[in-house]
Amino acid sequence: MDRPPCTDEYQKLIIRMSTPRVVIDNAVCSSATVVKVDSARKHGILLDAVQVLSDLNLSIKKAYISSDGRWFMDVFHVTDQNGNKLTDESVLSNIEQSLGSIHNEKTNDSNGHTILELTGADRVGLLSEVFAVLTELQCDVAESKVWTHNGRIASLMYVKDSNSGTPIEDSKKISNLEARLINVLKGDNDISSAKTSIIKAVVHTERRLHQMMFADRDYQRNPIFKFASDTPLVTVQNWAKRGYSVVNIQCKDRVKLLFDVVCNLTDMEYVVFHATINTTIDQAYLEFYIRHKDGTPISSEPERQRVIQCLQAAAERRASEGVRLELYTEDRQGLLAEVMRTFRENGLNVTRAEISTIGDMASNVFYVTDAIGYPCDPKIIESVRQKIGFSNLIVKELPFVCHQKAEGEDQSVGVGSAVLFCLGSLVRRNLYNLGLIKSCS
Residues 153-158, mean pLDDT to the nearest whole number? 96
> Which pLDDT score, from 0 to 100, does residue 273 have?
95
pLDDT at position 409 over 70: no
Compare 223 and 309 and report the one with higher pLDDT: 309
Residues 281-297, mean pLDDT to the nearest whole number? 95
> Which pLDDT score, from 0 to 100, does residue 154 have?
97
Nearest Cα neighbor of 21 from 74, 69, 67 is: 74
> Which pLDDT score, from 0 to 100, does residue 433 have?
43
pLDDT at position 400 over 60: no
> Which pLDDT score, from 0 to 100, does residue 403 have?
36
Residues 287-313, mean pLDDT to the nearest whole number? 96
Query: What share of the chain has pLDDT > 70, as a percent?
Result: 82
Task: Outline which parts of the chain fall under CATH 3.30.70.260.
Answer: 7-100, 108-221+320-397
Compare 372 and 110 and report the one with higher pLDDT: 372
Nearest Cα neighbor of 353 from 35, 122, 190 is: 122
- Of the pLDDT bands very low, low, confident and very high (cuts 50, 70, 90), residue 419 is very low
CATH of domain 7-100: 3.30.70.260
- Of the pLDDT bands very low, low, confident and very high (cuts 50, 70, 90), residue 430 is very low
* Chain mean pLDDT for the chain: 86
Q: What angle do CA 86, 283, 233 make, to 5 degrees?
A: 135
> Which pLDDT score, from 0 to 100, does residue 17 have?
57
**168 close to 200: Cβ distance less than 8 angstroms:** no
Residues 331-360, mean pLDDT to the nearest whole number? 95
CA 32 centroid distance within chain: 22
CATH of domain 108-221+320-397: 3.30.70.260
Q: Where are the alpha helices (DSSP H) in 200-298?
A: 205-215, 257-267
pLDDT tens-digit series, residues 190-219: 767 899 999 888 889 999 999 999 999 999
Residues 44-52, mean pLDDT to the nearest whole number? 93
Q: Which of 59-73, 160-174, 221-235 has the lowest mean pLDDT?
A: 221-235
pLDDT tens-digit series, residues 220-230: 987 665 555 57
pLDDT at position 434 over 50: no
> Which pLDDT score, from 0 to 100, does residue 423 have?
41
**356 close to 156: Cβ distance less than 8 angstroms:** no
Q: Which of 145-159, 185-199, 368-382 has the lowest mean pLDDT?
A: 185-199
Q: Which of 19-33, 161-175, 221-235, 355-369 has the lowest mean pLDDT?
A: 221-235
Rounded to whole angstroms, how far apart are CA atoms 63 and 343? 40
Residues 277-291, mean pLDDT to the nearest whole number? 96
